[in-house]
Structure 1
């Protein structure tokens, strides 16, 4: 299952110095199966945060804690109170979407710098370890989010989400070192697939715990169970991060830096990259398209549980079963769309997935309340397109990055990846605050998929790959 090509493809296309594995010139040692498997396992480790925390438990949990802080009972169906973080009046239902938006505003500054540091550091694994363990510790810190401590929960989420993004920047920057242009779609798809499998297994364990231990007449007990499920994701994240730290190899930085000045040199390099972005306008155009459509995807992932709980009035068990279904179907969906990409190209496959996402949003708007079966069917459809659209976007972007800039460019990429989108949650939160309707908020997300499709369709992919100094894969 996890055995892509054993060596990176060579290319006869001239490339700038420093060279990357798919450019002409002295190539680094080919990656091994052990190294690629270690890389896959960081997807396995961090997907617990995406699935158990962001997708399932955190939205309803933190909303309930915020409702308590607003003076509402923990089992109240509606809450008309407000909270006032930093003196700002916020409806409890909008607090979590606003936090997601705030987290990305902070990552705008943090992640590209992390990428610049990673590109110039010979110790990428140390950077990966620091970010991953910080995020895991903040997630485990939800053990202390009790009573009405919604502010503590918000701070811990911000730390965990930013650390998560920083760790993925470093993790993604390994991808061009693991295979050539024609291998990366398969490598990226296998990583995403294994991540969904790992996230699904932990979620299955949490499903068993919630089903066996919760009581319908004890809302506080259900809230406590959700809190400990969040904590379990932090422990899972920390433990399985040890596998990539053990099996990944350090690769020499392609550009030397003065010892002890990696951080300051990273800031300087980031400034040079920002000034030189206009040199690669097609790469930026792809990134713009990704930022738009992935905002929509990430908003659906982050707020699906809240939508199901508050608007559709579904039970926590129904939500967990649906997300569990999504996880295991996404495992197969990532491999399925990866196989389709080998036949028609990754670019065309991602465009097809965006059409399917548009259909999903329209169907979600029409879902009846208190009807679990249609919600399960919709979850199955999401699972089939979710993993592939994300995995192939990641591998497509790897083809558009100039040599030696992987960390920096994946820093920009990660700003809108895996739960750090901001426009979507902001639009959803604002529409909800104005209309008190989650359904109307959901409709606002259609624009992200329609505009994202149009922008991506306008990118001349083969010319964009060549403009970045890389060799295009056989099919796009």
Structure 2
């Protein structure tokens, strides 16, 4: 049996390259769900299913028609953003509890496998999303997105155990970069299916459905690599007081209370939850905006989003290199300024014109990877020792694909105005407020207050 490492990276011998590569590959595995399902296909496809249920044609703006959701009548175009918000509202309660359990478990690999395979199975179930079964699609998405978020919490909790403070920005950035390559590679295959759908004898809806199924299969298949290479370690927190699940809820309450002792960590977390909610909303709803407002076809939309994935790979590495020179905190602040520019340009994009949309996609790709990777590594410096998974449970509330205030605001803005342009520009508030709050965090003092050693540059 392999020798287990101490709970924290500072006290542990360096992790092996073999193990780090295994850790990177869960980014490769799960990014297919985030890219193919959330970012590209599910939003427009589920919207078309909802419009069919409302009796609208696929090219009909469907103004005035409504569908039922949990006893409430909503516009078909609001269904997907509302479901994103609902799934994340539920994860607010689930993910911190998952993190608390992970910190007390010596079987984090098994927890990772459980949530990854539940999520991938629900994604494969989208094969049956046909006709007007929008409630089936909504339910499967809820299961998949919650399981996805839970698996990410467990995955992130390995980061402080495999990388010390000086290496964490680099390790996190490499993981994000590899994730974009993995998600982009599968998307490239699906782009080919979109472009050659006539030769394959399929329509756009069938290509979308099978592409989403392929993401579930990809997620499940490549999860085996981190499960083989990562090592279980002793619990980083004290033993459970009673059944592990019940103790997880108890520890969640203690985690929330303990944040009062680390107000600067809490302040950073609030800033992150706000600005990353905006980032995630732009990512998850860009395909809907491009299809419904800009009237772009899949032949333009899908290759552009594919381009974003590969540019995000370069952006994650490039901004990681910039962080080594000026620090992660300053680099994130620069990225938030660039995000406000992206939204302003998106609001002014003309309909039915391909080149401006492609150029905007290039801008998104450059800032996307770095802002997320550096936020993850910076937050890991602000976590008290022994609380990695439970604090990442709070962090994951607004991480990959798990924003909720942004989609809710987007859905409400569209529901009230029936204008996707108003909906997209409303997201500016997240970047402006997030920037101001992050700027106010004394980051070096926050790291020291959490009991950690700050890196040379911040």
State the TM-score, normalized to the length of structure 2: 0.97
Q: Gaps spanning 5+ residues in structure 2: where?
A: none
Maintained 8 Å contact 2:106/2:235? yes
Maintained 8 Å contact 2:315/2:368? yes
Distance 2:87 2:247 in 1: 25
Maintained 8 Å contact 1:257/1:265? no
> CA shift at 1:77, angstroms?
4.9
> CA shift at 1:267, angstroms?
1.9
Distance 1:19 1:317 in 2: 49
> CA shift at 1:260, angstroms?
7.8
Distance 2:164 2:426 in 1: 39
In structure 2, the partner of 1:49 is 33
Distance 2:279 2:212 in 1: 22
| Distance change in 2, residues 1:319/1:165 (3 Å) | same
Distance 2:435 2:296 in 1: 32
Distance 2:422 2:342 in 1: 15
Distance 2:131 2:242 in 1: 45
Maintained 8 Å contact 2:293/2:421? yes
In structure 2, the partner of 1:20 is 8
Maintained 8 Å contact 1:214/1:225? no
Distance 1:434 1:80 in 2: 11
Maintained 8 Å contact 1:432/1:441? yes
In structure 1, the partner of 2:410 is 428
SS of the residue aligned with 2:73? coil
> CA shift at 1:178, angstroms?
1.1
Maintained 8 Å contact 1:98/1:425? yes
Match runs of 1:144-223 below 5 Å: 144-214=128-198, 221-223=203-205
Distance 2:93 2:240 in 1: 23
Maintained 8 Å contact 1:72/1:79? no
> CA shift at 1:375, angstroms?
0.4
Match runs of 1:37-186 below 5 Å: 37-186=21-170
Structure 1 residue 295 corresponds to structure 2 residue 277: yes
Deviates more, 1:264-273 or 1:365-374: 264-273
Distance 2:167 2:160 in 1: 10
Aligned length: 453
Maintained 8 Å contact 2:122/2:141? yes
Deviates more, 1:180-189 or 1:260-269: 260-269
Maintained 8 Å contact 1:105/1:422? yes
> CA shift at 1:256, angstroms?
4.0
Distance 1:142 1:260 in 2: 38
> CA shift at 1:262, angstroms?
2.2
> CA shift at 1:300, angstroms?
0.1
> CA shift at 1:213, angstroms?
1.1
In structure 2, the partner of 1:12 is none
In structure 2, the partner of 1:462 is 444
| Distance change in 2, residues 1:194/1:19 (3 Å) | closer
Distance 1:88 1:396 in 2: 41
| Among candidates 327, 330, 333, match of residue 345 of structure 1 | 327
> CA shift at 1:75, angstroms?
4.4
Task: Provide, for residues 140-197 of structure 1, a one-character-per-residue CA deviation record: whole Å limited to 9, x for no partner.
Answer: 0000111100000000000000000000000000000111111000000000000000
Maintained 8 Å contact 1:142/1:156? yes
SS of the residue aligned with 1:299? helix
Distance 1:35 1:269 in 2: 29
In structure 2, the partner of 1:361 is 343
Distance 1:394 1:195 in 2: 14
| Among candidates 226, 243, 246, match of residue 261 of structure 1 | 243
RMSD, aligned α-carbons: 1.5
Q: Gaps spanning 5+ residues in structure 1: where?
A: 1-7, 9-17
> CA shift at 1:317, angstroms?
1.6
State the TM-score, normalized to the length of structure 1: 0.93
> CA shift at 1:92, angstroms?
0.3
Distance 1:391 1:47 in 2: 13
Maintained 8 Å contact 1:214/1:222? no
Distance 1:431 1:77 in 2: 16
SS of the residue aligned with 1:252? coil
SS of the residue aligned with 1:415? helix
Maintained 8 Å contact 2:67/2:74? yes
| Among candidates 384, 388, 393, match of residue 406 of structure 1 | 388
Task: Provide, for residues 203-257 of structure 1, a one-character-per-residue CA deviation record: whole Å limited to 9, x for no partner.
Answer: 0000001110149xx9x82111111111110000000000000001111112342
Task: Provide, for residues 343-395 of structure 1, a one-character-per-residue CA deviation record: whole Å limited to 9, x for no partner.
Answer: 00000000000000000000111111011111000000000000000000000
Structure 1 residue 390 corresponds to structure 2 residue 404: no
Q: Which runs of 4+ in 1 moved over 6 A?
A: none
